[in-house]
Structure 1
């Protein structure tokens, strides 16, 4: 079931979801200038107040219900992910100002890498009432819960590492993720996955599983290098029975997207992906997602991107 369609008021205010701590606060001081640049569209600009991820999603939903004419996310993939939960499947135009550590959705959909240039481009698009349609993926869990993602769903080793890192209280910062990698490498084992791709079943033993609407995750790792967010399809990349040594050799190749040429890697394409395995919590756009089993469905033109 798609999100309810909401018509966007022609002159409604521009709601802005900003994450001041994105990229470790590197762009925090830019926010007033970004708001000024967005105001050049001739619309009121309203910053949304949110202290947590749940509050961010609630604020976006409230802004759209209150008549916002557009929604802009200022931050990284996590901020985009929260905003997508409100704007997906609606007629409300959406813009991204990349200001995070990972800006994969912005990069893969053509946003300028410079935050100021991205804000200027959004203002120009707002003045011209110009958008372009972009696909999103809708997730449906076993209990009927639905979520959306724009870039990549991780359901293999990377998801397991993220889950462990998020449970750890020490050390702080990037070293916690590094330690989680070491722990999970020591425990590495292929898992049995059941995939149904447009109804066709596949049983695979795998270490890496990714479902991509876009090509990249993790700050430029092209895990689904052929994914196109305008083709109405999802790309599924499966890395099979890697041992530790093979995984460590293949992992750097993901940044270039050349890992798909490895004999243990298989690529598929489908509109609907049913995915099942024991003990996996997925990560979508780098954010904690749904437990397996789940269904991912490509939804063409689910987003009206300001470009």
Structure 2
């Protein structure tokens, strides 16, 4: 259970809001004025951040926090939350995710209502009460020596390979591009050799699916790491071994229920620090393109303060 801390002495500045109007294919675009109004009920000034690209969005969040924002709210899906999270991780500035995207795994897994109106009311109430709750984050260190944070899951197997393929494709547009990328990569499916080091203990595995979870789900409710708890100070690592195409497609639907971990080819581990290496894999964290392997992932307890 998440611990409650009242009157955390968070910075007294305005509430900065990052909103992605294209999140969830724009289905919540018209909600933004209402969300800003509901946030205003907390009695704090509300400032909407301006950004045209994901990089500008992340920079705007960093600038807002550096400029004295008293809280940061992200309106969008996991990608928007991921960008905003980089600015507040490890700071005293509390954070509120308003789930308004296609995938809202971090917000839902940390206890926010799936309905954006209900979520913003929870955030506004916490702001008014000066209340926040600590939650863990995962810190990943890339081969170039830089660090990034994520809240839900790092994908480093078949799903990451499909994402990378889809992002390189110019056609078709929309969800069909992802479906086509799945078909292409299924035809090329082969286990990869991974070097996996858990709290300093190395092993080599041949695998098709590899995920490192701070929380349980990714991809809009796929419970890839079903036992992951973002308050236990640990990472859950799920490895799906030498699946062939037919077996993988039979197991994939079970990920939504989290029952895939009972399959004999699946192994689950728990560790504070995970080192992961393989050739030719680009990872995706919270659905966002992250580092090429190798990476080191560390669980950081209470790295983020949530407005709940």
TM > 0.5 between the two?
yes
Query: Which position in structure 1 is the counterpart of 2:146?
Result: 145
Query: Which position in structure 1 is the counterpart of 2:85?
Result: 84
| 1:163 equivalent in alignment to 2:151 | no
Asked if the contact 2:11/2:92 (under 8 Å) is kept, the reply is no
What is the count of residue pairs matched by the alignment? Answer: 301
Q: How much does 1:9 deviate?
A: 5.6
| Gapped regions of structure 1 (runs ≥ 5) | 1-6
Asked if the contact 2:9/2:130 (under 8 Å) is kept, the reply is no
For the residue of structure 1 that corresponds to 2:63, the secondary structure is helix
Asked if the contact 1:240/1:264 (under 8 Å) is kept, the reply is yes
Query: Which position in structure 2 is the counterpart of 1:124?
Result: 125
Q: 1:8 to 1:183 in 2, by over 3 A?
A: farther
CA distance in 1, matches of 2:11, 2:255: 42
Query: Which position in structure 2 is the counterpart of 1:240?
Result: 241
State the TM-score, normalized to the length of structure 1.
0.97
Comparing 8-17 and 80-89, the one that deviates more: 8-17
Query: Which position in structure 2 is the counterpart of 1:271?
Result: 272
CA distance in 1, matches of 2:9, 2:239: 39
Q: How much does 1:10 deviate?
A: 3.9
Deviation per CA, 1:71-113: give whole Å up to 9, x if none: 0000000000000111111010000110000000011000011
| 1:22 equivalent in alignment to 2:23 | yes
Q: Give the 5 Å matches for 1:107-118.
A: 107-118=108-119
Q: How much does 1:202 deviate?
A: 1.3
Q: Give the 5 Å matches for 1:1-307.
A: 10-307=11-308
Q: How much does 1:65 deviate?
A: 0.6
CA distance in 2, matches of 1:218, 1:178: 14
CA distance in 1, matches of 2:203, 2:44: 51
Asked if the contact 1:190/1:206 (under 8 Å) is kept, the reply is yes
CA distance in 2, matches of 1:10, 1:134: 18
Deviation per CA, 1:134-170: give whole Å up to 9, x if none: 0000000111011110000000000000000000000
Q: How much does 1:39 deviate?
A: 0.4
CA distance in 2, matches of 1:198, 1:79: 31
Query: Which position in structure 2 is the counterpart of 1:4?
Result: none
Deviation per CA, 1:263-285: give whole Å up to 9, x if none: 00000000000000000000000
CA distance in 2, matches of 1:286, 1:143: 21
For the residue of structure 1 that corresponds to 2:51, the secondary structure is coil
Q: How much does 1:8 deviate?
A: 7.2
Query: Which position in structure 2 is the counterpart of 1:3?
Result: none
Query: Which position in structure 1 is the counterpart of 2:4?
Result: none
Aligned alpha-carbon RMSD (Å): 0.9
For the residue of structure 1 that corresponds to 2:301, the secondary structure is strand
CA distance in 2, matches of 1:109, 1:121: 12
Q: 1:120 to 1:294 in 2, by over 3 A?
A: same
State the TM-score, normalized to the length of structure 2.
0.97
Q: Which 4+ residue blocks in structure 1 deviate beyond 2 angstroms?
A: 7-11
CA distance in 1, matches of 2:46, 2:55: 22
Asked if the contact 1:211/1:235 (under 8 Å) is kept, the reply is yes
Q: How much does 1:11 deviate?
A: 2.6
CA distance in 2, matches of 1:118, 1:175: 31
Query: Which position in structure 1 is the counterpart of 2:5?
Result: none
Asked if the contact 2:153/2:218 (under 8 Å) is kept, the reply is yes
